[in-house]
Amino acid sequence: MIAFIIISLIKVAIVIAGLFLMVAYLTWLERKLLGHIQVRYGPMRVGPHGLLQPFADGLKLLFKEDITPAGANKVIYNLAPLLTFIPAFIVFAVIPFGSKLYVFGYRIDMVVSDFNLGLLYVFAVVSISVYGIVLAGWSSNNKYSLLGGLRSSAQMISYEISLGLSIIGVLMLSESLSLIEIVNQQDKIFNWFIFRQPLGFVIFVICAIAETNRLPFDLPEADNELVAGYYTEYSSMKFSMFFLGEYGSMINASAMIATLFLGGWQGPWLPGVVWFLIKIGVLLFIYIWIRASLPRFRYDQLMRFGWGILLPLALLNIFITGIVVVG
Amino acid sequence: MFKVIRTIIAIPQGLWVTFKHLFKKPVTQRYPEVKREMFERYRGLHYLARDENGKEKCVCCGLCATACPSRCIYMEPAENENGERYAKVYEINELRCIFCGFCEEACPVGAIFLGKEYEFSQDKREKFIYNKEDLLVSTSEAKK
């Protein structure tokens, strides 16, 4: 029992530390890639090729003044950053990031918590982070924040349904809600769910981008219309919590795509953790690449796309999968 | 329907364009480390030239001060031991100067030029009054 607790604590520490490091360097990578795509350098000053930039940014944010606007609802205003920050980091508890490891005959699963409703947990927790955005928008007492929050809630409703429906095809084939079981079923490359569920994969990727409020679905932020959207009034550590939450959920979304459709940590020759990181890295690159290429959707386009195209396609996908599974 | 297909095709096209840009050499000039090469006729900070023997060319005729539209040149003449006229005091107020280059055109002996130096910010207004020691350059530097 004690061994179990100690091992769990070590796993939690490793996952949290790794996640923070990845978030920190994801900001660097994004600025660097965006820079080079726009034929400029990106961060270059702090450290070689700006490698220490994330730490400089973090330090700067720590020393910034923490402002609460007059007329803001203080309790909710302070609660909202936590609501987006914490879910982004606890989602990783159920995502398996490597194969089994045997230490002194003791089996260690490369996942913080192995419970058989993992997928449900992920969707439950991820949905909470949207509340943080909505509440931040409402409690700031600022019209732009409110508009950002409203847009976010509308976007959440139209995309979370398709997101949920798109994985039902995977669930029908895997017959399990446990992420470990889903990964185990994708042991060969032809068993990856991307090949068995191509339509589901496309819908899931699009909805995951919308869910994490990234371009081209960043309507809640929309710098050039809404100042900074829902976090306009936030500064200092509260702002950085939103920021970390956004990047954390980007990593989550990539990890979920990798786990559900790209075989998780499965892969030849290299250890499972390495494969998992490679897959996440490629997906994060695509995230940034799409951000650099595509313009933002208009509000009505977004609604029409979500309800008129993605939802019917997700339903069609379930229908086809059902026919295949039964027949 | 045609419009939908065209839109779907446009997305990978756009992604391909940005992907190609990823491997281009950045056009940014990394300014403090790499200075920009100024063009031939750039008019920057003035300098006073010397002749081959290292003697300053300026004879303090005052034509530059007369030509100057912003009246930023001040000089006081004197005579040296050979009885030749030279500028005892020669000051240019670089804050007033509009860098038109008329002084260079007016000079009959080719003593004053506008160089390519553009980094001469100061923290006090008084420091912008450049005197003769600030402006004089050696013969070798004069071609810069």
Tens of pLDDT along B48-75?
A: 888 877 788 888 888 988 999 999 999 8
The CA distance from A289 to B110, in Å, is 58
Give the three-class secondary structure for B140.
coil
ipTM topping 0.85: no
CA distances from A11 to A97, A123, A176, A256, B19 (A): 11, 22, 24, 19, 37
Burial B93-109 (b: 16+ CB within 10 A, else e): bbeebeeeebbbebbee
How do residues A92-151 score in pLDDT, each as one tens digit? Answer: 888 887 777 777 767 777 777 777 788 888 888 888 888 888 888 888 888 888 888 888
The CA distance from A309 to B4, in Å, is 11
What is the predicted pLDDT for the residue at B121?
A: 86
User: Which residues of B are less than 8 Å from A38 in CB distance?
Assistant: 21
Residue whose C-alpha is closest to residue A197's, from A51, A19, A70, A316: A316
Domain boundaries, chain B: 46-143
Token pair for residue B98?
A: 């509009």
* Cβ distance of A40 and B26 shorter than 8 Å: yes
CATH number assigned to the domain covering B46-143: 3.30.70.3270
- Kindly identify which residue of chain B lies nearest to residue A45, measuring between CA atoms: B30
What are the beta bridge partners of residue B136?
Answer: B48
Note the residue count of chain B. Answer: 144
The CA distance from A244 to A230, in Å, is 15
Please tell me which of the candidates A41, A290, A293 has its beta carbon nearest to residue B26: A41
Please, which residues have CB within 8 angstroms of residue A277's CB and are 6 or more apart in sequence? none
The CA distance from B89 to B112, in Å, is 14
Give the three-class secondary structure for A239.
helix
Task: Evaluate if pTM is beyond 0.90.
Answer: no
Residue A76 · residue A146 · CB < 8 Å: no
User: Which residues of A are less than 8 Å from B27 in CB distance?
Assistant: 39-40
Side-chain-side CA neighbours of residue A159 (13 Å): 26
Is the pLDDT higher at A295 or at A189? Answer: A295
- Residue A17 dihedral angles phi and psi, to the nearest 5°: -65, -45
- H runs (alpha helix) in chain A: 2-37, 53-63, 74-90, 118-139, 143-166, 168-174, 179-184, 193-196, 198-211, 223-226, 236-261, 272-293, 299-303, 311-326
User: Which residues of A are less than 8 Å from B25 in CB distance?
Assistant: 39
Mean pLDDT of chain A: 84
* Cβ distance of A294 and B11 shorter than 8 Å: yes
* Cβ distance of A293 and B14 shorter than 8 Å: yes
Residues A280-289 have a mean pLDDT of 90
What is the predicted pLDDT for the residue at A3?
A: 78
Q: What percent of chain B has pLDDT over 90?
A: 6
How do residues A58-80 score in pLDDT, each as one tens digit? Answer: 888 888 888 888 888 888 888 88
What are the beta bridge partners of residue B46?
Answer: B114
Residues B22-37 have a mean pLDDT of 85
Q: Is the pLDDT of residue A210 over 70?
A: yes
Confidence of residue B144 (pLDDT cuts 50, 70, 90): very low
CA distance B20 to chain A (A): 8
Confidence of residue B141 (pLDDT cuts 50, 70, 90): low
Q: Is the pLDDT of residue B140 over 60?
A: no
* Cβ distance of B15 and A39 shorter than 8 Å: no
Please tell me which of the candidates A39, A289, A294 has its beta carbon nearest to residue B27: A39
Q: Which phi-psi region, left, alpha or beta, contains residue B43 (left: φ > 0; alpha: ψ -120 to 50)? A: beta
